[in-house]
Structure 1
Amino acid sequence: MVSARPRIVCGPAALFSFGFRPFFFGGALWAAIAMPLWIALLTGRIAFATQYGAVAWHAHEFLFGYGAAIVVGFLLTAIPNRTGGLPVRGRALLVLFTIWASGRLALLFGDVIGLVAAAAIDSLFLLGFAVLVWREVIAGRDWRNLKIALVLLFFSGANISFHGEIFFSGYPLYSIRATVSVLIVLIMVMGGRIIPSFTRNWLVKRQSRHLPIPFNSFDRWALGGAISALALWTIFPDKQVTGFALLLAGISQAIRLLRWAGWRCGAEPLVSILHVGYGFVPLGFVLVG
C-alpha cells in the first residue's frame, strides 16, 4: 500500500495554512510598527488617535492588537488539536486576519472615521472569534474548552468596555486591569494544560519516575483563588484585602509551578523555558500584591 504524501503548501497561501502563522507574524510585525508610532505620538512628532491619547492607544494596541493576535493564533492551532475538528485555514483564516488588521487601521485613523466607527470595527474581531469558538464548543459538545470560551467572552467584553470607557469617561481605568486579568487567566488555564503535558512527555522518554502531579483539587483552588484575586485587583486595586489575595495567589501559583517538576527538564530548553515563562505569573502576583 502506498501511503498518501502530505500536501505541501507553498507561496503566499502557506501563510494561511495554519492559524498561528498569520497571527504570530502579524502580531510581531504590528508590535515592531506600533512601538515607534507610539514614541512619535508620545513626543508630539505626529498626531493620531487623539480621542484615545498616547497612553490608552498604546495600552489598547498592546492588549488587543498584539495580545489578541497571539492569543487567537495560539487557540486556532490548539483547539483543533484537542478536539480533532477541522482548523480554520485558507479563505476563512484570511477573512479573520483581515478583520484583525482592519481594527488596527481603524484606531490609527479614528480621528478620520470617528470613535464609534473605530470602536465598532475593532470590536468585531474578538467578538467574532468568541462566537466561532462557542459554536465549536456547543456543536461538538466539547465541554473541556468551555473555560476557554468563557474567557474569550470576557476578553471580547473587555475590549468593548475599553472603548466604552474612552467614550464616556476619557480613560479606560478598569478595562486595562480587566484585560490584563483575562490574559493572565488564559495563561494559567492553557499553561496548566500544556506545561505539565510537555514536561511529562519529555520525562517519560527519559524514563523518569518523578512526573508532574496531575491536575487535581489543588489546581482548582489555586485557579479559583487567583481569579478571585484578579477580580479584586480589577475593581479595588488599592484595598488591603486585594494585596493579601494577590500574595496568596502568587504563593499558590508558585506551588502549582513546582508541582510540574520543571527543574528536571533543564537539559531540554524547549520545555524548561515554558516553566521559566510561567514563573512570571506568581512573580507578578507577588510584586503587585
Structure 2
Amino acid sequence: MRFSEQPLWLVGFRPFFSLACLSGLALPLLWALLFSGTLAAPPAPFSSVQWHAHEMFFGFGWAVMGGFLLTSTKNWVKIRGYHGTALILLVGAWLLERVAMWYAGALPALVFGVASNLFLASIVAMLLWSLIRHRESDTFRDNYFFLIILPLFLVAKNLLLSDAYFQAGASMTLGLFRVAFLVMLERTLTQFMKNALQAEILRNAVLDNGIKMLAVLLVFASLLPAPVSAWTGLLLALLLLARFAFWKPQLALRRLDIGIMYLGYLAIVAQLLLEFVALLAQPAWVGSLPMHVFTFGAMGLVIPAMLIRIVNGHTGRKVVFDRLDKAVLWIMIAAFVIRIVLPQIDPAGYLRWIDLAAACWFACFAILGWRYIPYLLRPRVDGKEH
C-alpha cells in the first residue's frame, strides 16, 4: 500500500485530530516554560505573547477546525472530500508553519510570510472551493457564514503577528472562532439531544440567524466604537441565554458528555459579558480574563468531547464515553477552574496556576492521543472505506 493510501489519509479528521492531540499537549507546556523564563524564546519579530496566541489559535485551534471542516464539508455537500496527497501536503504546510513560527527571527521576511501563511491559505481555499462549487447540494443553507468568516481568518492571523495591531488581531480571531463554535454547537447539540435523550430543542430561524449575524458583526468589534461593541456583545449574550433556557439544560447537564458542551456554550456567554464589563469599565481582574474564558471554556471544554465523538463515530465505533473519556473531560473542567477562577482568588500564585493549567492540557491530550491516534492510523472497524 502506498503511503498516500494509508488509513491516516482517508479523511481530514484523521491527520488533523492527531495533530490536535500532539499540539494540545505540547503548546501549553511550551508556553508555561516560556512564561516562567525557564525556556528562552528564540529571537522573533513578535513577542512571546503573540507567539502563544497565534499557536493556540492557528496551530492547535486550526488543527481542530481543519479536521472538523474537512470532514463535515464533504458530508454537507455530499462529495468524497480531500484525501491522500492533498491531506499530506496540508499536514506538511501545518508542520512548516510551526517551524517557521519558532524560527521566525532567522528567516527572511518573505520566506517567513510564505511559510506562515501557506497552510491557512491552502485549507481555506480548499474549503471554500468545496462549499461554493457544490452549493446546490449543500444541506445547510446557512453555510454562507463560513464563506464570510473563512477568508477573514487570514486577515486576523496576520494582524495577530503585528505589534501595532495585535489587540485587533486577537479580538478578530476570537470573534471568528466564536462564530464557528456557535454554528457548530447549534447543529450538533440539536442532533445530540435528539439522539441521546430523545429531546427536541428550540430552533427558530429568526433567532438563530440573528445570533450568528450579531456574532459576525462582533468579529469587527475592534473597529467599532467601544460602547457599540459592548452593547452589541451584551445583546448577543442575552439572546444566547434566552435560547439556552429553551435548550433543556436540565436534561443535558445530567450527562457529562453533552453537559460539557452546554458549559462551553455558557463560556461563550460569560466571555461576552466579561468583555462588556471590560469595554465600559476598568475591572481589576488578573490576566486577560475574557480571552481565557473563551479559550479554556469554549475551546477547552468542547473540543475534547467533540474529538471523542467524531473519532469513535467516524471510525465505525459506538459513541460511548467510558470512565477514561469522562476523566479527560473532568481534567479540562479542572483546567478551567485552575486557570480562570483561582488566579482571581490568589493572584500571587499566578505562575503556579498557569503551570497547573498547562499540566491539565498535557494530561488531557496525552490521554486522548494515546487512546485515539491508534484508531486514526487504522481502517474503520465496520469495514467501510471512510
TM-score range, shorter chain: 0.7 to 0.9
Question: Does the CA contact (< 8 Å) of 2:173 and 2:219 recur in 1?
Answer: no
C-alpha RMSD of matched pairs (Å): 2.6
1:93 aligns with 2:76: no
1:13 aligns with 2:6: yes
Q: 3-state SS of the aligned residue for 1:197?
A: helix
Structure 1 CA distance, aligned partners of 2:257 and 2:121? 33
Residues 215 and 72 of structure 1: is their aligned pair in 2 closer, same or farther, counting only changes over 3 Å? Answer: farther
Which amino acid letter does the alignment assign opposite residue 226 of structure 1?
Answer: A
Query: Paired residue for 2:223?
Result: 235
1:220 aligns with 2:209: yes
Question: Does the CA contact (< 8 Å) of 2:77 and 2:131 recur in 1?
Answer: no
Query: Paired residue for 2:27?
Result: 34
Say which of 24, 32, 50 aligns to 1:56: 50
Structure 1 CA distance, aligned partners of 2:180 and 2:258? 19
Which digits, 9 at most, give the CA deviation of each residue in 1:56-95, with x for residues without a partner?
1111111111111111111111112222211222222111
Query: Paired residue for 1:139?
Result: 133
Residues 37 and 214 of structure 1: is their aligned pair in 2 closer, same or farther, counting only changes over 3 Å? Answer: closer
- Within 5 Å, give how 1:48-127 maps onto structure 2: 48-127=42-121
Say which of 236, 252, 265 aligns to 1:249: 236
Say which of 173, 176, 185 aligns to 1:182: 176
Shift of 1:20: 1.4
Q: 3-state SS of the aligned residue for 2:247?
A: coil
Shift of 1:252: 0.8
Say which of 143, 154, 157 aligns to 1:156: 154
Structure 2 CA distance, aligned partners of 1:68 and 1:131? 14
Question: Does the CA contact (< 8 Å) of 1:38 and 1:58 recur in 2?
Answer: yes
Which amino acid letter does the alignment assign opposite residue 235 of structure 1?
Answer: L
Question: Does the CA contact (< 8 Å) of 2:34 and 2:41 recur in 1?
Answer: yes
Query: Paired residue for 2:195?
Result: 201
Query: Paired residue for 1:6?
Result: none
What is the TM-score when the length of structure 1 is the normalising length? 0.83
Question: Does the CA contact (< 8 Å) of 2:93 and 2:119 recur in 1?
Answer: yes
Structure 1 CA distance, aligned partners of 2:56 and 2:82? 24
Amino-acid identity (%) = 25
Q: 3-state SS of the aligned residue for 1:195?
A: helix
Which digits, 9 at most, give the CA deviation of each residue in 1:86-127, with x for residues without a partner?
122222211111111110111111122134322321111111
Structure 2 CA distance, aligned partners of 1:115 and 1:44? 28
Shift of 1:256: 2.1
Which digits, 9 at most, give the CA deviation of each residue in 1:166-198, with x for residues without a partner?
4xx4x6221111101100011112211221122
Residues 235 and 49 of structure 1: is their aligned pair in 2 closer, same or farther, counting only changes over 3 Å? Answer: farther
Question: Does the CA contact (< 8 Å) of 2:252 and 2:262 recur in 1?
Answer: no
Structure 1 CA distance, aligned partners of 2:204 and 2:75? 20
Query: Paired residue for 2:16?
Result: 23
Residues 28 and 114 of structure 1: is their aligned pair in 2 closer, same or farther, counting only changes over 3 Å? Answer: farther
Shift of 1:282: 1.1
Which amino acid letter does the alignment assign opposite residue 157 of structure 2?
Answer: N
Question: Does the CA contact (< 8 Å) of 2:69 and 2:127 recur in 1?
Answer: no
What is the TM-score when the length of structure 2 is the normalising length? 0.64
Structure 1 CA distance, aligned partners of 2:117 and 2:18? 21
Residues 149 and 240 of structure 1: is their aligned pair in 2 closer, same or farther, counting only changes over 3 Å? Answer: closer
Q: 109-118 or 126-135: which moved more? A: 109-118
Q: 3-state SS of the aligned residue for 1:88?
A: coil
Which amino acid letter does the alignment assign opposite residue 77 of structure 1?
Answer: T
Which digits, 9 at most, give the CA deviation of each residue in 1:188-222, with x for residues without a partner?
12211221122123343xxx5xx212232112222
Structure 2 CA distance, aligned partners of 1:286 and 1:135? 36
Which amino acid letter does the alignment assign opposite residue 169 of structure 2?
Answer: S
Structure 1 CA distance, aligned partners of 2:47 and 2:203? 46
Structure 2 CA distance, aligned partners of 1:96 and 1:64? 14
Residues 262 and 85 of structure 1: is their aligned pair in 2 closer, same or farther, counting only changes over 3 Å? Answer: farther
Ranked by relative contact order (alpha carbons within 8 Å, sequence separation 6 or more), the top structure is 2
Q: 143-152 or 60-69: which moved more? A: 143-152
Corresponding pairs, count:
270
- Runs of 5+ in structure 2 lacking a partner? 277-386
1:271 aligns with 2:264: no
Shift of 1:148: 1.4
Q: 3-state SS of the aligned residue for 1:279?
A: helix
